[in-house]
Chain A
Amino acid sequence: MSHILLRHRDIPEISSLNVYRKNGGFEAFKKAVTKMKPGQVTDLVKASGLRGRGGAGFPTGVKWSFIDNKVWPHYVVANADESEPGTFKDREIMESNPFQFLEGVAIASYAVGANTAYVYLRGEFWQAAQFLDEKIAELEKAGLLGGRLFGTNYSLRIHTHLGAGAYICGEETAMLESIEGKRGQPRIRPPFPAVCGLYGKPTVVNNVETLTNLPMILANGADWYKSLGTPDSAGVKVFSLSGRVRKPGNYELPFGTTFRQLIYDHGGGVQDGRPVKAIMPAGASSSFIVANDQVLDTKMDYASVRTLGADLGSASVIVIDDTVPLDWVIHKTIHFFKHESCGKCTPCREGTYWMMHLIDRIPQSGYLKADVDLLLNVATQMQNKCLCPLGEFSTMAVVTGIERFPQDFRKA
């Protein structure tokens, strides 16, 4: 099957505007602007069953329909802050299939009535930002962005905005703060961005991969998209496979592909032929899944993964084999969250710091049960009290690691 998102793998020169247009590029956007009302675009996307690819999996069309039409202007922000350890799909899309992504931004902007869209890239994507700036300039020159598009009154400008090294800016309200020139710290929700977002105006924030789906959905219809994937999770997903596999990388597959297919058929199996011990399906924010045959045959869609006591999230599948001790893994994840905590709320700021001390101490002190229990207790104590998901997610690996792999937290 040919790719829907990673189309550069089928059409090598798709990052050139000519080639992209020869392959139907910007026809979807043109159709939307000239033949459809914004509400019709939203309805179509709702009908397609597209869900947000950033991790939360919220239905995209529904998110758009929350936008407050009493307050103007509206903004669209493309979340290209891709920073979850184990996630590297958006980068490939932007670097290799930039026009499809930008056309997606344009379609979303038209659907919610935004005349300005920002692409928020993590600071490390400096090269990608420069590349996108060039592509945006080409589009403006070609009359595909700018004023009075396709002879209508609709106008749209897209700007890139570079972050500067802060995982938290992937959280949508922190991202808005960052664009506003402030420290990237999450806001209290509600109000949600659809009501009070960038500059206090109604704003839609969508992930790069989500947006890149839009031109194909408009071109081929909702039913076509729904026919891919599972009833619960329509369409395709780019799975970022990493860790102890032979062929790590991005794999665009329909929802419902099993872990086994991803790891063995696509990823070439585990290094040195070792067995899979644990899977983190959503990067460092994951709960651990204890791997076994049944698990490996589980379909990767939102609902099925939940039955394993984990979330699919951004589908950043980190494979851990039996050579890797879990206390070492959670040392890495705690370190990550301690480093990336924005410091705004107490449980996350202090809790990640405390967990770091404990996980540092545990192997040194010979896996004292009291220390392990305390670590579990501190992590549990953080839960349901943090201001944003970062703090909450920082505890997932800790709690499930200790609970599901107790042997790794005992003296050998």
Chain B
Amino acid sequence: MSLAQEHPKEVKQILAKYPPEHKRSAVMPLLYLAQRAEGYITKQAMQDIADTLEISVTDVGAIVGFYTLYHDKKEGKYRMQVCTDLPCALRGADQFMESLCANLGIKVGETTADGLLTLEAVTCLAGCDRAPMFQIQSRAGLKYYEDMTVDKTMELVEALKNAGQEAE
């Protein structure tokens, strides 16, 4: 099913933001919409967006490739994106990340065995005053977690795990 069939209202709203002769502008919001379904963007979804906007599928793929919040591969259900940039690192982000890796039993860039969590190091998230901090990207969107400790983070991971089990 195409995006327009699946989310007619959202697609219409998104397209309405831009001049009709420049509907290509809608590619980024439509990609977010497509990413909601699977947690990543399938080739089929790219084709679908290309058809909707009358641009080539390669043009859509080039957008997916450029921006780091779009993903074209399935990974963890939650992507924990820890800022390890300079201001956070001055407040212990690197050590925080190391401890997280140890606690989760994975390296940066890896996904937990249960497929729950992918741990990523990212550049500045504009939360420098509340380091250590990270965001979690999931099908539900993006959420910031600031002034974090390893304990608080592990509690969160546990909660995410349980929430998933309850839902299933």
Contacts and interface: CB of A to CB of B under 8 A. Distances in A.
Contacts of B29: 161-162
B67 A88 contact: no
A181 B22 CA distance: 9
A165 interface: yes
A166 B130 CA distance: 21
A243 B87 contact: yes
Nearest to B90: A243
B126 A122 contact: yes
Interface stretch (B102-110, B138-146, B148-156): B138-146
A233 B25 CA distance: 37
B87 A199 contact: no
Contacts of A183: 62-63, 66
B151 to A, nearest CB: 21
A339 interface: yes
Interface in B40-68: 53, 55, 62-63, 66-68
A235 interface: no
Nearest to A249: B129
Interface residues of B, number: 41
A59 interface: no
A180 B130 CA distance: 33
Contact of A86 (B68, B122, B128, B143): B128
Nearest to A130: B141
A167 B24 CA distance: 21
B34 interface: no
Contacts of A179: 25
Given A85-B123, A164-B68, A318 B28 contact: no
Contacts of A154: none
A182 B28 CA distance: 9
Contacts of A130: 141
Contacts of A324: 90
Nearest to B67: A164
B27 interface: yes
A327 interface: no
B135 interface: yes
A284 interface: yes
A240 interface: yes
A124 B62 contact: no
B117 interface: no
Given A85-B85, A127-B143, A162-B32, 15 more contacts: A83-B123, A87-B126, A87-B128, A124-B135, A126-B141, A161-B28, A164-B68, A166-B66, A181-B53, A199-B19, A242-B128, A243-B90, A248-B128, A318-B87, A340-B123
Going nearest first, the 7 A-B pairs with the smallest beta carbon separation are A165-B68, A164-B67, A181-B24, A126-B142, A248-B129, A242-B128, A85-B124
Interface of B: 17-19, 22, 24-29, 31-32, 53, 55, 62-63, 66-70, 85-87, 89-91, 122-130, 135, 141-144
